[in-house]
Amino acid sequence: MKEPPSAATKIDFWQRLSRNRALLLLLSLLLFLLIWQMLVIVLNLPGFILPSPAEVGRKFLSVLSTGLLWRHFSSTLGEILLGLLIGISAATLLGYALSKSPLAERLLSPFLVGSQSIPMVAVAPLLVIWFGPGLLSKVLICSLTVFFPVLINTLVGLRDVPPELREVMRSLRATPAQMLRYLEIPAALPVFLGGLRVGASLSVIGAIVGELVASDRGLGFLINVGRGQYDTALVFVAVICLVVLAASLYGLVLLLENKVLSWQTWRKEA
């Protein structure tokens, strides 16, 4: 007995579709926009409550063409990149130093754990009071948000370096610098990059929180402006830009992980 050819091709089509992730993503996006547009039409909502996708698209093109969007986008991006740079470097250095000194780690760890539960939203106004509404306070908020996950993961990653591999290095008469280069960095990298992945997404939130508190530029500022003028489409444009920004940062770290940890691919398969 042979299956009817039409059924076979049908199955084939669905299988191929479910394997093509880019196409699936596009489809779900289109579906989402469709439902959104339908909702606006059916419920007959005014634009300042829920703008239609078409309105948002028009808004996007207009702020893009005037250069307004790029000005604010680039300033948020700058804050995030600076914040990431400072936060990651400080956290990595401190993490390495602490991993070499168990006493210091034990002294500091209550603060580290405690500071993780402080909501950044609550600290942001303080930092704005201390460091002004300019770039500095945003960069600080952003680097603080990145700092803790990266620090914790650096510590955990270094602490979990297999002691027997340390012994191998010692039996090969490795210097501390060689220990770092040949053992500690590669061994701690998977956990470290995990922290970076969390930190990179959080950094976007950090920058926006800072901008929402007080600022005269950035996507957060744009959101404030849109809200003040009942220009909800503008708010949507800013939010979508933020989502794209956060997703790209996340994707970048993922890309880095895949590149650096290629030897680990078997783990994902298993």
Out of 90, 120, 174, 239, the residue judged to bind another protein by CB under 8 A: 174
Q: For another protein, which stretch binds (CB under 8 A), given 49-57, 91-99, 198-206, 256-264?
A: 256-264
Question: How near is the Cβ of 264 to another protein at its closest, in Å?
Answer: 8
> Is residue 71 within the footprint of another protein (CB under 8 A)?
no
Q: List the interface residues with another protein, window 104-163 (CB under 8 A).
A: 162
> Is residue 264 within the footprint of another protein (CB under 8 A)?
yes
CB nearer to another protein: pick between 47 and 186: 186
Residues 6+ apart with CB under 8 A from 165: 183, 187
Question: How near is the Cβ of 166 to another protein at its closest, in Å?
Answer: 10
CB nearer to another protein: pick between 102 and 132: 102
Closest by CA to 253, choosing from 207, 203, 201, is: 201
**How many Å apart are CA 153 and CA 69, to the nearest integer?**
35
> Is residue 182 within the footprint of another protein (CB under 8 A)?
yes
> Is residue 269 within the footprint of another protein (CB under 8 A)?
no
Question: How near is the Cβ of 212 to another protein at its closest, in Å?
Answer: 42
What is the chain's length? 270
Out of 45, 132, 170, 244, the residue judged to bind another protein by CB under 8 A: 170
Environment class of 128 (CB within 10 Å of its CB; exposed 0-12, middle 13-18, buried 19+)? buried
Out of 113, 172, 240, 252, the residue judged to bind another protein by CB under 8 A: 172
CB nearer to another protein: pick between 111 and 263: 263
> Is residue 167 within the footprint of another protein (CB under 8 A)?
yes
Q: For another protein, which stretch binds (CB under 8 A), given 40-48, 61-69, 178-186, 236-244?
A: 178-186
Q: For another protein, which stretch binds (CB under 8 A), given 58-66, 111-119, 165-173, 218-226?
A: 165-173
Q: For another protein, which stretch binds (CB under 8 A), given 112-120, 176-184, 199-207, 213-221?
A: 176-184
Question: How near is the Cβ of 154 to another protein at its closest, in Å?
Answer: 18
The contact set with another protein (CB under 8 A) reads 162, 164-165, 167-174, 178, 182-183, 186-187, 261, 263-264, 266
